[in-house]
């Protein structure tokens, strides 16, 4: 692989498994709901949340499960609990290996991640990434119009690292938004396809697709372009 100066990563489903985060958050919410329906038990409520998620996606899980349980819950409060909880998540093994390797070889490391600010920073803290990378940009801190595929976070990142776009590569899992701006700006792009994740089977046109696809982040070290 071409020797880039900086390796900039997406977070969810690139460095750790986002489904683990969802499960961790649902456990928190199940705990809360079990206070109001102690007859149901936390494990049963947790299972209901998971099953609802698998059936209909994440969008209305709390509304639908509360309705089913006959609980008149404050959904905004549950969402806040979910987003602000301290998640039980860990980096993928290949992510640990690659981050350590890039550190050792003196490369710059960045993270650009979309999402609610509180939620994304809670993930970053749980994964202990704050002090092991050079720059983190959570687009939730910038405003909705600056979320990927906006060029803003990529421009900010490259400027902060003091490099040119062509010296940097962006590694992500979601062709809907991860690679469009990076490609337009002249950065390298790499798509990671994992066993688990919502975007692993997404197939889009060439303007959305990365320069190359890998199945383990360790290929960033081994592979020639
Ligand atoms: Mg992602």
Cα 14 to middle of ligand 1, angstroms: 6
pLDDT-based confidence at residue 32 (cuts at 50, 70, 90): very high
DSSP helix/strand/coil, 5: coil
Q: Taking CA 17 as the corner, what is the angle to CA 207 and CA 33, rounded to the nearest 5 degrees?
A: 120
Q: What does residue 8 show for φ and ψ, rounded to 5 degrees?
A: -110, 125
What pLDDT does 225 receive? 47
Quote the mean pLDDT of the chain.
95
pLDDT band at 112 (very low <50, low <70, confident <90, very high): very high
Ligand 1 centroid – CA 15 distance (Å): 8
Q: State residue 210's pLDDT score.
A: 97
With 60 as the cut, is the pLDDT of residue 40 above it?
yes
Q: Give the CATH H-level superfamily of domain 6-17+89-222.
A: HAD superfamily/HAD-like (3.40.50.1000)
Within 80-200, strands assigned E span: 108-113, 135-138, 168-172, 188-192
Cα 13 to averaged position of ligand 1 atoms, centre (Å) = 5
Distance (angstroms) between ligand 1 centre and the Cα of 6 equals 19
Residue pLDDT, tens place only, 69-110: 999 999 999 999 999 999 999 999 999 999 999 999 999 999
pLDDT at residue 1 in the model: 65
| pLDDT given at position 168 | 98
* Domain spans, the chain: 6-17+89-222, 19-84
Element (H, E) at 115: none
Q: Ligand 1 (ion): which residues have CB within 5 A?
A: 10, 12-13, 173-174
Helices (H) and strands (E) in the chain, counts: 9, 6
């Amino acid at each position: 692989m071409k020797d880039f100066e900086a390796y900039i990563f997406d977070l969810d489903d690139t460095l750790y498994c986002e489904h683990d985060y969802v499960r961790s958050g649902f456990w928190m919410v199940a705990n809360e709901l079990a206070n109001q329906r102690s007859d149901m038990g936390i494990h049963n409520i947790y299972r209901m949340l998971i099953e609802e998620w698998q059936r209909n996606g994440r969008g209305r899980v709390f509304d639908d499960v509360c309705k089913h349980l006959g609980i008149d819950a404050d959904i905004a409060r549950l969402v806040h609990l979910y987003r602000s909880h301290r998640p039980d998540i860990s980096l993928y093994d290949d992510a640990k290996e690659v981050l350590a390797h890039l550190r050792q070889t003196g490369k710059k490391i960045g993270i650009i991640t979309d999402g609610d600010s509180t939620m994304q920073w809670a993930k970053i803290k749980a994964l202990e990434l704050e002090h092991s990378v050079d720059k983190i940009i959570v687009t939730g801190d910038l405003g909705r119009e600056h979320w990927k595929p906006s060029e803003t976070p990529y421009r900010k990142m490259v400027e902060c690292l003091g490099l040119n776009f062509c010296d940097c590569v962006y590694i992500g899992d979601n062709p809907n938004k991860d690679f469009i701006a990076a490609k337009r700006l002249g950065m390298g792009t790499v798509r990671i396809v994992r066993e688990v994740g919502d975007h692993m089977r997404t197939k889009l046109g060439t303007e959305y697709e990365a320069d190359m696809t890998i199945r383990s982040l360790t290929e960033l070290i081994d592979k020639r372009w």
